[in-house]
Amino acid sequence: MKQTQRWQGLEIIRGDKLLKDLSSWGIGGPCNYFVQVSDQTQLLSALRFSREQSLRVITIGKGSNCLFDDQGFDGCVILNRIDFLETVEPGRFRVGSGFPFNRLGFLCSNNGFTGLEFAGGIPGTVGGATYMNAGANGQETADVIESVEIVTMDGIFHTLRGNELNFGYRFSPFQIMENLAAITAVTFKLEHSESARRRQLEYLERRRTSQPVGAQSAGSVFRNPSDMSVSAAELIEKAGLKGYKIGGAMVSGIHANFFINTGGSTSKDMLDLINLVKEKVYQKFGVLLMEEILYVPPQANRN
């Protein structure tokens, strides 16, 4: 039976929300507490509740880059639906972190602004794309970020200038920010371009033919090696692992850096497949692949 409680205007679900329903991989057990927030006030309340209950917290958007454990999560999962879109001036947009990133890409390109054409094919949120510095086709999220608004675990808001942040390939400083609770909004500065829409359509067609669109995946599992001209997908394919399967988890036969839940994959299946691919690629090429996806353990690591 579903257990809910009201707390400062929030509806908090106890032990009933399955993380597989919040993940593009369709994997994950129940979390102890679940709450959905649609603005910064609700987010602050959720953080305050978690702090008073001494709960671990994870804030997620589309769950398109997460591998949740089948045992679930012994804390509070905050589902971010802060999805406003403000036009500050032509080409400058302030966007809630829960806004769909692909929708933002479509809107900007359709209105003749360049810089986020690639976003049309990325099924995450603005916050997730910023956190991972998502990119494709020679474009990266960080290239057009003017500022990022965040909130810390103790409920303090900060606005950080994009040119002061040390972004890298699939990396943002938020990944190592210990007190970060969530990215709340991002301001983008784009340039006008008559060819933005055409480029986006080209990118989407390329994606449709080269990636397992529609399958249960989390996008690219591994980062491309930074010091090599070969991609992670090429290394995996050359290691003979395309189509390799463990339980319900399989290396895509279309794009070797996409791992598919073919139906009923457990978190152990997917972790075992990730580790096997890393081992085989290292044995054959001496290259240690680094994960791009985030594994969320059920419990805090204890020393």
pLDDT at 201 over 80: yes
8-48, pLDDT tens digit by residue? 889 999 988 999 999 999 999 999 999 999 999 999 999 99
pLDDT of residue 3: 87
pLDDT, greater one: 227 or 67: 67
What percent of the chain has pLDDT above 90?
88
pLDDT at 2 over 80: no
pLDDT, greater one: 187 or 4: 187
Mean pLDDT over residues 234-256, rounded? 98
Q: What is the pTM of this model?
A: 0.93
DSSP string, the chain: --EEEEETTEEEEES--BGGGGSTT----BEEEEEEESSHHHHHHHHHHHHHTT-EEEEESS-TTEEE-TT-EEEEEEEE----EEEEETTEEEEETTSBHHHHHHHHHHTTEES-GGGGG--SBHHHHHHHT-EETTEEGGGGEEEEEEEETTS-EEEEEGGGS--BTTB-GGGG-TTEEEEEEEEEE-EE-TTHHHHHHHHHHHHHHHS-TTSS--SBSBPPPTT-SS-HHHHHHHTT-TT-EETTEEE-SS-TTBEEE-SS--HHHHHHHHHHHHHHHHHHH-----B-SEEE-SS----
pLDDT at 76 over 50: yes
